[in-house]
């Protein structure tokens, strides 16, 4: 099979700019696809962190006016990523979070910022760069969704794929924006980018892309239902034949407990006892009692409604009754941040929390905790439970989306067969979470069973090997 050239368009990429799992996926998939002779170039916005990392990048295209100011496309590479950077200072020369300004609100011109990213994606996909003609343009999430609308209205275009990482983020803007986008009037239609009287960039991608993927098979089914389709389910049902769920993988080099330079003691599945040093390190960092026997639950998460962590606040008594400890790392909803701070203050030595974003601490939590809690109300894929499996931390997850697809519940049958890798609960309520915590603590106190679960998790293939093959098959099928 011949080589395929893919232009990916995304608003985040690890290790340059990250707010969540999207960055991890966009950062890791290219290396996995390269092994299958699929060459990925990724277009990202020129945020300050990106411009600094790509200081040596060369201009390959320019626009005198791209949504309000001059802009250039730069080509460069870093950490084995082949990148195109949209250098548009009027839109992206702003430090910090890529979407939110210092006042905690979305930047008021996000519609223009990501229309510009998408316009750049469409232009780069159709000959703007001399000698570069990708076979496929692959857009990720709403920020890149308009790419497919722009491409649809060009005379000749590459094949297109839209990946949904989270249907809850839809890129909705008022209809007044439409003329600014300079799409033909026909695009403002139900069979187009119109969405409840406004425009939706995500819908643009879902409507115009040749194929749609999302990040787990279960989520691909859920988003076709009215309960979980968030208004897009009709469109997604209509496009069922073109919709595919491909589970995310993880970068098994960045996340490898045997070599991870960020953790106190490295270990593998044959040396699980080494984890004790990591647990002690974690207990010290989170101000927890240095008790090796207490089941230590970790959380690494955005603190939002999606993630269900308000339910964990309701499970405080169950945690205490199980003699468990909690170490939480997260940022998000200010009320939830305050509530976890208060819980830690009420139960010193038992609950600890770090409010903030800290990549190194995330590794330490995975290496030192006994269990990882992910009580999400919905979860397209979820990556932290995959990191947990890799690190011998038992995931305790809501049975939704990708969490359902990646964890084998310690049911009596699974325990009997010796295949369990974690604990699942459903429905996603505080009561069921409390039961799951009790069940996990009880399993933890049976070392033989617990270690078997840890080893099963560590033996699970969470790499990009299979998922990358599925993307490659999709790309080949699309070009055939």
Residues near ligand GLC (CB under 6 A) are: 20-22, 25, 165-166, 215, 248, 379-383, 402
- Which tokens in the block code for residue 325? 């400890």
- Residue 143 binds to ligand ADP (criterion: CB under 6 A): no
Nearer to ligand ADP among residue 23 and residue 120 (C-beta):
23
Question: Using CB distances below 5 to 8 A depending on partner kind, what does residue 431 bind out of ligand GLC, ligand ADP, none?
Answer: none
- Residue 358 binds to ligand ADP (criterion: CB under 6 A): yes
Sheet strands (E) in 20-80: 38-45, 58-63, 71-78
Taking CB under 6 A as the binding criterion, the range among 173-181, 341-349, 355-363, 407-415 that sits at the site for ligand ADP is 355-363
Question: Using CB distances below 5 to 8 A depending on partner kind, what does residue 467 bind out of ligand ADP, ligand GLC, none?
Answer: none
Nearer to ligand ADP among residue 30 and residue 192 (C-beta):
30
Contacts to ligand ADP from residues 271-300, by CB under 6 A: 300
Closest CA to 137 of 150, 147, 149, 127: 147
Question: Using CB distances below 5 to 8 A depending on partner kind, what does residue 215 bind out of ligand ADP, ligand GLC, none?
Answer: ligand GLC
What is the rounded CA–CA span in Å between residue 33 and residue 37?
Answer: 7
Contacts of 116 (CB under 8 A, 6+ apart): 66, 67, 71, 86, 88, 91
Among 362, 369, 408, 443, binds ligand ADP (CB under 6 A): 362
Q: How far is the CB of 165 from ligand GLC (least distance, A)?
A: 3
Alpha helices in 182-303 (DSSP H): 201-208, 217-222, 233-238, 275-285
User: What is the 3-state composition of the chain as percent helix, strand, coil, each rounded to the nearest 5?
Assistant: 40, 20, 40
Alpha helices in 40-195 (DSSP H): 48-53, 89-92, 110-125, 146-152, 178-181
Question: How many residues in the shown chain lie near ligand ADP by CB under 6 A?
Answer: 18
Among 191, 253, 268, 359, binds ligand ADP (CB under 6 A): 359
How many other C-beta atoms lie within 10 A of the C-beta of residue 291? 15
Q: How far is the CB of 84 from ligand ADP (least distance, A)?
A: 23
Q: How far is the CB of 71 from ligand GLC (least distance, A)?
A: 27
- Residue 253 binds to ligand ADP (criterion: CB under 6 A): no
Question: Using CB distances below 5 to 8 A depending on partner kind, what does residue 301 bind out of ligand GLC, ligand ADP, none?
Answer: ligand ADP
- Annotate 150-175 with DSSP letters as a single string: HHHTSSS--EEEEEES-TT---EE-G
Question: Using CB distances below 5 to 8 A depending on partner kind, what does residue 205 bind out of ligand GLC, ligand ADP, none?
Answer: none
Contacts to ligand ADP from residues 3-62, by CB under 6 A: 20-22, 24
How many other C-beta atoms lie within 10 A of the C-beta of residue 198? 17
What is the rounded CA–CA span in Å between residue 23 and residue 346?
Answer: 35
Nearer to ligand ADP among residue 30 and residue 382 (C-beta):
382
Q: How far is the CB of 260 from ligand ADP (least distance, A)?
A: 13
What is the rounded CA–CA span in Å between residue 52 and residue 73?
Answer: 15
């Amino acid at each position: 099979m011949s080589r395929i050239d893919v232009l990916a368009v995304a608003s985040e990429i690890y290790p340059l700019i990250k707010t969540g799992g999207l960055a991890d996926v966009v950062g890791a998939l290219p290396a996995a696809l390269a092994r299958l002779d699929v060459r990925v170039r990724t277009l990202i916005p020129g945020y300050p962190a990106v411009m600094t990392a790509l200081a040596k990048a060369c201009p390959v295209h320019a626009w005198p006016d791209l949504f309000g100011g001059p802009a250039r496309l730069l080509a460069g590479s870093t950490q084995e990523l082949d990148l195109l950077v949209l250098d548009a200072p009027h839109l992206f020369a702003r430090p910090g979070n890529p979407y939110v300004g210092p006042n905690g609100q979305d930047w008021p011109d996000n519609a223009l910022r990501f229309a510009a990213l998408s316009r750049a994606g469409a232009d780069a996909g159709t000959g703007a760069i001399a000698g570069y003609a990708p076979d496929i343009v692959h857009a990720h999430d709403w920020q890149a969704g308009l790419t497919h609308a722009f491409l649809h209205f060009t005379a000749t275009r590459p094949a297109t794929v839209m990946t949904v990482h989270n249907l809850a983020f839809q890129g909705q803007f008022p209809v007044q924006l439409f003329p600014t986008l300079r799409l033909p009037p026909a695009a403002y239609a139900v069979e187009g980018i119109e969405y409840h009287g406004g425009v939706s960039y995500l819908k643009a991608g879902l409507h115009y892309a040749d194929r749609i993927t999302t990040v787990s098979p279960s989520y691909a089914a859920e988003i076709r239902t009215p309960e979980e389709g968030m208004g897009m389910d009709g469109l997604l049902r209509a496009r069922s034949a073109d919709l595919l769920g491909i589970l995310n993988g993880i970068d098994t080099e960045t996340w490898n407990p045997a070599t991870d330079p960020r953790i106190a003691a490295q270990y593998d599945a044959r040396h699980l006892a080494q984890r004790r040093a990591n647990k002690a390190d974690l207990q010290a960092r989170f101000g927890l009692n240095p008790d090796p026997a207490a089941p230590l639950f970790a959380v690494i998460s955005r603190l939002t409604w999606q993630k269900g962590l308000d339910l964990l606040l309701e499970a405080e008594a169950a945690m205490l009754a199980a003699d468990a400890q909690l170490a939480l790392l997260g940022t998000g909803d200010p009320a939830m941040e305050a509530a976890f701070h208060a819980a830690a203050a009420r139960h010193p030595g038992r609950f600890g929390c770090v409010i903030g974003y800290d990549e190194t601490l995330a590794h330490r939590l995975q290496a030192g905790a006994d269990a990882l809690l992910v009580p999400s109300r919905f979860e397209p894929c979820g990556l932290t439970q995959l990191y947990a499996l890799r690190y011998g931390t038992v995931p305790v997850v809501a049975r939704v989306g990708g969490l359902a697809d990646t964890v084998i519940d310690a049911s009596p049958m699974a325990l009997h067969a010796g295949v369990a890798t974690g604990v699942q609960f459903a429905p996603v309520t505080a009561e069921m979470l409390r039961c799951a915590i009790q069940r996990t603590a009880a399993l933890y106190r049976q070392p033989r069973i617990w270690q078997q679960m840890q080893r099963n998790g560590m033996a699970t293939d969470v790499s990009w090997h299979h998922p990358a093959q599925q993307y490659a098959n999709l790309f080949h099928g699309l070009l055939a």
